[in-house]
Structure 1
Amino acid sequence: MSWHSLGGNGSLILKLYVQPGAKQTEAAGVYGEELKIKLAALPVDGKANRTLTEFLAKRFKVPQKDVTLKRGAQSRHKIVEILRPSSGPEVLFSE
């Protein structure tokens, strides 16, 4: 099983492992069956989750409202749905 899949409505589903408190927000590579994302935010008052959705919205060129945290709000293991992404998951590895 891969860290990404397509949803029934053409959405992109990502399985992520997040590491808050990093120097910069970036995709760090595959971690088991998840994509590891380093976040330049601490997990306080939802800041890490907001940083994650902002990062994904910018990379996939979608409004932030189209990035939904489906599971894992209080966990490092998260499932995120992106509606109508402008490109595939490989965009996470480009600068």
Structure 2
Amino acid sequence: MPYLVSFHLGWLIGSLLLGFCMGWISVVQRGNGTSKVTARWLAVLVAGLVAASFAHVVPGRFGYWLDLGLTMFGCYLVGAAIGAWLRDRVVARSMPPA
């Protein structure tokens, strides 16, 4: 894992920044989101992929891509959470008191 992070640091930072930008934008957009059933299926899918990564079920190049994809996805989610949180703080601070 340290090799993966050190070799792909630029891509991981890019994923973090892309997540930050999407988190910043997503606070403004007020869509319906996903249903609870879809969210549960996606959570099960991600948990299965993480379990496969930890168990080294996928060998070779595809296992490497799985690890890299999950690491980039994690960076993206962290960036999105930070971006949404900061946008919420900035918008809440700039709104006049009710």
Of Structure 1 and Structure 2, the greater helix share is in 2
* Greater share of strand: 1
TM-score (ref. length: structure 1): 0.23
Task: Report which structure shows greater RCO (CA 8 Å, sep ≥6).
Answer: 2
